[in-house]
Structure 1
Amino acid sequence: MIHFVILVSRQGKVRLTKWFSPYTQKERSKVMRELSGIILNRGPKLCNFVEWRGFKVVYKRYASLYFCMCVDQNDNELETLEIIHHYVEILDRYFGSVCELDLIFNFHKAYYILDELLLAGELQESSKRTVGRMIATHDRFVEAAKEEASSIGTFIAQVRM
């Protein structure tokens, strides 16, 4: 089971977090601070697995971001690396060469993609095509809702005049 997902920049700024296990806000802050310090200080030639507090933290660096997942001690590290890579591929396909700024300005979409991929800390959907279709459907619903809200706003403005 994946306990949490954290995306951290090379400067140590947390860009995205998703928690599947209960942690208080104080614990979350401590975990993010502690793990970002551990991962950012590791050399590039070291492996991408860290044993931490009875768990394994699996991370992978893509451009300026570290994608980290905390899993149980007996979970497969390579499978977790594949899940991270799968998430990055879906982000890349959606944003077209994803970068840190895409995740900063469109964090809600990054969360939605992660929610389509993982459910309760387990891989929900392994097909990139299916996730892409779900995201496209969601985007169409959002656009339709925006258009409807805009037309209602226009109607209200006309009624007031």
Structure 2
Amino acid sequence: MIHFLLLISRQGKVRLTKWYSTYSKKERSKVLRELSGVTLTRGPRLCNFVEWRGLKVVYKRYASLYFCMCIDPDGNELEILEIIHHYVEVLDRYFGSVCELDLIYNFHKAYYILDEILISGELQESSKRTVVRSVAAQDSLVEAAKEQTGSTISNIIAHAAK
């Protein structure tokens, strides 16, 4: 099982987090501090697996971002590396050539794509084509709703929340 996913920039800024296990705010900030220190200081030729607090952290660097997943000690590290790579490939297909700014300004899409791939810390969808189709369908629904109401997305959300 995946306990959490972190996307950390080379400067140590957290760009995305997804928690599948329960952690308090204090524990979360401590985890972020510890793991950013561990992953950012490791050499590029060292393996991408780290034992941490009785768990395993699997990470992979893509351009200026570190994708980190924490798994059970008996979890399969290579499978997790494949899941990370799968997520990055889907992001690449959706954004063209994904970069850190895409994730900063379109974080809601990055979360939606992640939710299409993983649910409750388990792999849900392994087909890139299916995930991209699902995200495209959601985009078309949002566009149709915008055209129908003539509103911005924030007005649609505010109206739906009432």
- Shift >6 Å, 4+ stretches: none
Report the aligned-residue RMSD: 1.3
Displacement of 1:82: 0.1
The aligned counterpart of 1:60 is 60
- Counterpart-to-counterpart distance in 2, 1:29 and 1:149: 40
The aligned counterpart of 1:132 is 132
The aligned counterpart of 2:30 is 30
The aligned counterpart of 2:12 is 12
Displacement of 1:147: 1.6
The aligned counterpart of 1:158 is none
The 1:60–1:147 alpha-carbon spacing in structure 2 relative to 1, beyond 3 Å, is same
- Counterpart-to-counterpart distance in 1, 2:151 and 2:111: 28
The aligned counterpart of 1:157 is none
Q: String of CA shifts for 1:68-101, please: whole Å, max 9, x gaps.
A: 0000000000000000000000000000010000
The aligned counterpart of 1:112 is 112
The aligned counterpart of 2:101 is 101
The aligned counterpart of 2:86 is 86
Gaps in structure 1 of 5+ consecutive residues = 154-161
Displacement of 1:11: 0.1
Displacement of 1:146: 1.6
Displacement of 1:149: 2.7
| 1:45 to 2:45 alignment | yes
Displacement of 1:150: 1.2
Gaps in structure 2 of 5+ consecutive residues = 156-162
User: What letter corresponds to residue 101 of structure 1 in structure 2?
Assistant: L
- Counterpart-to-counterpart distance in 2, 1:151 and 1:19: 32
Name the TM-score, length of structure 2 as normaliser: 0.92
User: What letter corresponds to residue 16 of structure 2 in structure 1?
Assistant: L
- Counterpart-to-counterpart distance in 1, 2:54 and 2:149: 49
Name the TM-score, length of structure 1 as normaliser: 0.93
- Counterpart-to-counterpart distance in 2, 1:29 and 1:48: 22
- Counterpart-to-counterpart distance in 1, 2:34 and 2:3: 16
Task: Indicate the structure (1 or 2) with the bigger Cα radius of gyration.
Answer: 1
**What is the number of residues matched between the two proteins?**
153
The aligned counterpart of 2:160 is none
